[in-house]
Amino acid sequence: MVNYLNIPAIVTILVVLAVIATFLNSLSIYIIVTTRHLWKRNSSLLLMNLLVVHLFQGVFVFPFYAGKKVKQDFLPAQIFGNGFRLSYMLSFYGACLGILLIAIDRFLATYLLTKYKTIVTRKRVKITLAVFWIYIIGLCMIPFIDTSGPQMKTKFDNSTNQTIEYEAKKFYVYNQQRVWVLFMLIVNTALPYVLVVMCYSFIAYRLKSLQIYHPTNIGQPVKKSKYAVNKTNETDELKPLRKKDVEKHKQVTKLTFILTLAYGVFWTPSIIYYPLKADCKSCFPENYEDSELEQYVGFITKYLAFLDAAVAPLVYCFMHREFQKSLIRIKSKLLKLPLPEPDVPSTSNDTTLLQ
């Protein structure tokens, strides 16, 4: 197959993106671990899970893809090919289902309100993440299972002057069967998309209710609203909520929504393109396979997906207030400047709203 891509330029672009993604995600993970207000929140574990997925992309997926493109004799092509396909699948479904977990977490925080902290405990979040990765790794290893049976070869035996048959040693190839691809696209891609949309639709409806319900003073009577989910019991539950806390809740939900939107923008081209390429030959021009156009389109769709690894940490580093404060502290330490005064944590009941 003729390679139409400029390999040195491609490798350079991948290396630059790998360095940026590795640095930004490592910095974001460091900020979460070293910032008390962030680390104590159970939902931060879900954010860290997503950041680790993107860090995995920068450390493994991008280098494997660069090695796969180089294709020099001294490089074991099959190792780079299999390594890229496996790592790419792990990062894709890790990001896809990780975004779903974050959306479900925001749904529970919005639905449960002050009960959220007692129900969504740190132990339960850790167990969920453990099951989450066992499920993803197990499914992504299935294409390595070879169902073709033993491969037999023949060779000439000089001692007996006869041709003998022997079982050749296999090198397992990451072969994505059609049934596996359809299952992963429907169950682990399309269904999470639908659930995420449903979660954020409910969140938007609920936040509108909260915005109307909260009083400026706790002792002030609460106004009834047609947007209330449960009009008989919700008044007492919403009394402790202040405008400041509702706004904080809206801000974090907005950031998680932007993360989800970024994932959709950067990954959707790949999600649409590769199933069409595999099953709809009439959707592409004749002689499209192995053509210059096919190689450029394939690289662009993959590179768009790779960009999400740099965009996700940028959303939290530059839009989340706690991240901004931590970045200022890190900069002050590096430049030996006076550290800013720490914020005094709130002691009211509404701190349980958003953990």
- DSSP letters spanning 319-334: H-HHHHHHHHHHHHHH
Strand partners, 167: 152
Minimum mean pLDDT range among 43-52, 105-114, 141-150, 222-231: 222-231
**Residue from 196, 231, 200, 195 nearest 213 by CA:** 231
Please tell me the predicted confidence (pLDDT) of residue 298. Answer: 87
pLDDT of residue 19: 95
> What does the H/E/C string look like for 81-110?
HHHHHHHHHHHHHHHHHHHHHHHHHHHHHH
Query: Which value, to the nearest 10 degrees, does the dihedral of the CA atoms of residues 185, 186, 192, 194 take?
Result: 130
Exposure letters 320-347 (e unless 16+ CB within 10 A, then b): bebbebbbebeeeeeeeeeeeeeeeeee
Residue 163 backbone dihedrals phi, psi, to 5 degrees = -90, 125
Average pLDDT estimate for 165-170: 55
* DSSP letter (8 states) at residue 148: S
In order of their start, the domains of the chain are 7-146+176-216+245-335 (1.20.1070.10)
3-state secondary structure of 67: helix
The token duo for 204 is 């938007």
Question: Residue 102's closest CA among 272, 331, 260?
Answer: 260
Q: Can you tell me whether residue 164 is helix, strand or coil?
A: strand
Give the mean model confidence (pLDDT) for residues 177-182: 86
Q: pLDDT digit string (tens) for 84-98? A: 899 999 999 999 999
Residue 178: the pLDDT is 82
Measured CA angle at 174 (ends 172, 177), to 5 deg: 120
Closest C-alpha among 35, 20, 21 to residue 328: 35
- Interval 234-256: pLDDT, tens: 444 554 555 666 676 677 778 88
Lowest mean pLDDT of 78-87, 100-109, 272-281, name the range. 272-281
Question: Can you give the pLDDT at residue 43?
Answer: 84
Check if the beta carbon of residue 234 is closer than 8 Å to that of residue 222: no
Q: What distance lies between CA 36 and its chain's CA centroid?
A: 24
Roughly how many angstroms between the first and final C-alpha of the chain, as a whole number?
A: 53
Give the total residue count for the chain: 355
Q: CA 272, 275, 281, 282 torsion: positive or negative?
A: negative
* Residue 139 burial by Cβ neighbours in a 10 Å radius (0-12, 13-18, 19+): middle
Mean pLDDT of 80-85: 86
Which of 324, 315, 322 has the alpha carbon at shortest distance from 254? 315
Q: Which of 24-28, 36-40, 262-266 has the highest mean pLDDT?
A: 24-28
> How many separate helices (H) and strands (E) can be counted in the chain?
13, 2
> Mutual orientation of helices 292-319 and 243-279 as an angle, nearest 10°?
170
Q: Answer whether 185's CB lies under 8 Å from 275's CB.
A: yes
CB atoms closer than 10 angstroms to residue 15: 13
Please name the amino acid found at residue 8: P
Is there a contact between 3 and 293 (Cβ–Cβ < 8 Å)?
no
Q: Record the tokens describing residue 149, joined without a space.
A: 């049976």
What average pLDDT does this structure show over 69-76?
Answer: 63
Question: What angle (nearest 5°) sits at the alpha carbon of residue 132, between those of residues 194 and 304?
Answer: 60
Average pLDDT over residues 253-281: 84
| pTM: predicted TM-score of the whole model, two decimal places | 0.78
